[in-house]
Chains A and B, each alone.
Chain A
Amino acid sequence: MSLAYFLRRLGAVLVVLCIVSIAVFAITTILPGNAALMILGENASAENLAALERQLGLDRPLPVQYLHWVSGVLHGDFGTSLRLQLPVAQVVGEAFWNSMSLALIALVGVTLIAIPLGTLAALRRGTAWDLGIGLISYVGTALPEFVTATLLLVFFADPVRQLLPAGGFVSPVEDFGGFVEHAILPAVTLGLILMAHISRQVRSELSEVLASDYVRAARLKGVPEGRVIRRHALPNSLAPAVAVISLDIGYLLGGIIVVEEIFAWPGLGRLLIYALQNRDLPVIQAVTLLLAVVYALSNLLADIVIAKLDPRVRYA
């Protein structure tokens, strides 16, 4: 990995994050009703409103407000939640780790299942295995998260059998078994769409690579088939799969909003919906910015992994 390539990618990420922060700030500022009105309520007198606006700095020009907000964010200060009366950094920080643990479980689980499935489909092309895996992928991409979640609940969380909890959260530090139990259904819901994408991508790349000259050469040399796949074919078909995974982080971060709401998982998604319903501007800004940062950084990470897997990318 050349340092120049890394720096160039990092620079692009910073530019994008700048634009995102401006966009987030702009959207939340044009929302009707400002923070002062939010705190004092509809019946506040004009004088009180003006006084509080001055105190909060809302009477200053927008670019000044933006710079003030950004410099706070860079120092880890996201302001105070209008509804919860707590520092936003504290509220968001807790939710952040809950969300990330859920996303990570889903992502790792999916990768462990999807890559072997895609490989199997590519090796047994045209058989019932291939068709079955293809069918699951297609159905997976056509089910919105809220439908998958609801159907899973009907099957696994009905009050009579009670196979799995219908929602809620247990801290992994206090009760790890309980944490896993509560994480299963949300993680499976999040994983289904990703599994479809990744296994399909691995299948199509691997079938292409298996038909290539160097795989034929390896076979002619007498290399055992298992080794051909592990050493020659798979590594070369993984780079596009990683690219798809990195795009899918976007789905994952969107899906987490719905899934956390349905399963009452106290993460960023649930917090965001709460903040949107209550017009809690500082929280909306912080959560949105945080999700965008995670998205951008995971894309950067994926680019680095791809460059490691496929040396041609570095010189592009």
Chain B
Amino acid sequence: MRKILKSPTGLIGTLLLALVLFVTIFGPWITPYDPQAFDARARLEGPSLAHWLGTDQYGRDLLSRLLSGAPATVAFGLGATVLGVGVGSVIGVIAGVAGGRTDSVIMRVLDGMLAMPELLFTLLIVTFLGGGTTQAMLAVAVTFTPGMARISRSAVLSVRTREYVLAAQARGESGAWIVGREVLPNALGPIIVEATIRVSFAIMIGATLGFLGLGAQPPSTEWGLMVAEARQFMFRNPWCVAVPGLAIAVTALGFNLFGDALRDAFDPKRGH
């Protein structure tokens, strides 16, 4: 951890991430106004003392909407990543440990899934499942699965022939014990690093689906949906698209920087 805080990017990433997580957990409790309350006298206003970030087309306070939408946006990314990483890692570990025929069949199927651009794949699955937050989360998770399976497979492969694994085999330990106690803990590093960076992708894809009307549905204050709803009014008050848009960027940036710093900390060779 100290290593991460030492690099400037790691420090900024950690600070941004702390801010984002704070807003995600406490945001809905500290909104200055009701995020859904209309105010006909204060529509499409810029920032002021009363409304720090301005108001949208119905006079709803943008800061309040931003804070209340944080869980929907950030938790979506975390949920989708955890699901995708979980399933992907299990598949990857199975392929890596089993080897031989099982391995090559699994890898061919994964190659086929990876041959489609990510967003295209997600869109197809969302259409198949029908729009909505849960469906969108599942779709992103499925999209992440092949990539994560690949990474965890190669992590397992690189650990599998190490001396301590051979020693455990020589001691006559069971296969499950070796995988659980020797292989997995040592293969975890790259998986965690990749997962952290993936959260930012998941948040961006989730917001994009919300924007396209395939993810979160009104009256949710998910940030991508906020941008979509305010788009008609963007020339009259740029703040109503800029605020949620930049919030998405800050969140993605936080996870990105933190993930990069984490990678450098795990693998000193890659650090600059």
Please indicate the chain A residues that have their CB under 8 angstroms from the CB of B111 in the complex: 15-16, 19
How far is A154 from B235 in the complex, measured between Cα atoms in Å?
6
With an 8 A cutoff between CB atoms, is A257 at the interface?
A: yes
Residue among B111, B211, B248 with most chain A CB within 10 A: B211
Nearest-CB residue, chain A, relative to B237? A154
Known: A27-B124, A141-B256, A150-B227. Is A20-B235 also a contact (CB below 8 A)?
no
Number of A-B contacts (CB under 8 A): 130
With an 8 A cutoff between CB atoms, is B159 at the interface?
A: no
How far is A23 from B108 in the complex, measured between Cα atoms in Å?
13
Interface stretch of the complex, out of B80-88, B170-178, B186-194, B200-208: B200-208
With an 8 A cutoff between CB atoms, is B120 at the interface?
A: yes
Given A16-B111, A145-B208, A160-B235, 15 new contacts (CB under 8 A): A16-B115, A27-B128, A139-B253, A143-B245, A144-B208, A144-B249, A146-B224, A146-B228, A150-B241, A150-B245, A154-B234, A207-B272, A254-B118, A258-B212, A292-B120
How far is A24 from B123 in the complex, measured between Cα atoms in Å?
12
With an 8 A cutoff between CB atoms, is B127 at the interface?
A: yes
Q: How many residues of A contact B (CB 8 A)?
A: 49
Minimal beta-carbon separation of A62 from chain B (angstroms): 16
Minimal beta-carbon separation of A96 from chain B (angstroms): 15
Interface size class of B (residues with CB under 8 A): 35 or more
With an 8 A cutoff between CB atoms, is B94 at the interface?
A: no
Which chain B residues (220-243) contact chain A, with CB distance < 8 Å?
224, 227-228, 231, 234-235, 238, 241-242
How far is A292 from B112 in the complex, measured between Cα atoms in Å?
10
Could you tell me which A residues sit within 8 Å of B by CB distance?
A: 15-20, 22-24, 27, 30-31, 138-139, 141-147, 150-151, 153-154, 158-160, 204, 207, 249-251, 253-255, 257-258, 261, 272-273, 276, 279, 284, 288, 291-292, 295-296
With an 8 A cutoff between CB atoms, is B109 at the interface?
A: yes
Minimal beta-carbon separation of B132 from chain A (angstroms): 15
With an 8 A cutoff between CB atoms, is B156 at the interface?
A: no
Q: Is the CB of A17 within 8 A of B119?
A: no
